[in-house]
Amino acid sequence: MRNAIEFEVYGNYALFTDPLTKMGGEKLSYQIPTYQALKGIVESIYWKPTLLMVVDEVRVMNAIRMESKGIRPIEYGGGNTLANYTYLKDVRYQVRAHFMFNPYRPEMAFDRNENKHHNILKRSLNAGGRRDIFLGTRECQAYVEPCVFGGGKGFYDNYGDIHMGTIIHGINYPDETGRNEMEVRIWNPVMKDGVIKFIRPDQCTQIRKITDMEMKQFNNTNVESADNLLKQLE
């Protein structure tokens, strides 16, 4: 696939929070990473408003295990409270993703240099990302490195189909849909032999509006082109 990268992301813990558990403060992780969480990791490797990052599939390498911890999160009004968070433990995933040019940002046409963006993306991956990598939440620090998707032995190889139920797919933002709304997407993934193939955001049929939101403005006055950025890296 054009403009694609394949990488492995791993860490001691992950927390892909089921939003139903947030209201009481006792957070519980989904068993698998959401599309949005993996998209966030790709954007931490390299992102510009010129691009739309698309996650194609994820391979679960380690057995799905959970661990509960007593946490003292900070309250908005000051001080601490007590909570119980249930994390995924010892996680490792292989991810395949690619980028396309954002059709909802015609003002960024000056920065549409496909080859140079792909080169910067691969360099950024080899360097471990341009921003901090984490798995779901900030306290779950992680690491990324290039890999060959499908390589190595995974725990769920030849395991068959596992239906993961109804979970969050991701969030729609105005610069990704052309609508001045923030929306949430829901879907029903199936893991086959450890691999989950994601449907594209525009293929999700279960969408709910969260709030009104306007697109943040970018142009050549506040964004450096890929041509100049690659020259700095050379």
Whichever domain contains 87, its CATH number is 3.30.70.2660
Handedness of CA 58, 61, 66, 70 (dihedral sign): negative
Structure-model confidence comparison of residues 24 and 100, the more confident one: 100
Average pLDDT, the chain: 92
Q: Does residue 91 sit within a domain?
A: yes
The pLDDT of residue 77: 81
From residue 112, alpha-carbon distances to 35, 80, 223 in Å are 25, 47, 12
Three-class SS state of 108: helix
How many other C-beta atoms lie within 10 A of the C-beta of residue 174? 17
Structure-model confidence comparison of residues 146 and 224, the more confident one: 146
The pLDDT of residue 229: 66
Q: Does residue 205 sit within a domain?
A: no
Question: What value does the mean pLDDT take over residues 80-86?
Answer: 88
Longest dimension (CA), the chain: 52
Q: Does residue 226 sit within a domain?
A: no
Question: What value does the mean pLDDT take over residues 173-195?
Answer: 96
Question: What value does the mean pLDDT take over residues 10-18?
Answer: 96
Question: What value does the mean pLDDT take over residues 91-119?
Answer: 94
Q: Does residue 78 sit within a domain?
A: yes
Outline where 21-157 has alpha helix (H).
35-45, 114-126
User: What's the structural domain count of the chain?
Assistant: 1
Query: Which residues lie closer than 8 Å to 212 by C-beta, 6 or more apart?
Result: 180, 181, 182
CA-closest candidate to residue 224, choices 104, 50, 43, 44: 50
How many other C-beta atoms lie within 10 A of the C-beta of residue 224? 11
The pLDDT of residue 166: 95
Q: What percent of the chain has pLDDT over 70?
A: 97
Evaluate if residue 24 carries a pLDDT over 90: no
Q: Does residue 139 sit within a domain?
A: yes
Q: Does residue 142 sit within a domain?
A: yes
98 contacts 117 by C-beta, under 8 angstroms: no
Domain span holding position 10: 4-158
Q: Does residue 109 sit within a domain?
A: yes
Q: Does residue 213 sit within a domain?
A: no
Backbone angles phi, psi at 200, to 5 degrees: -70, 155
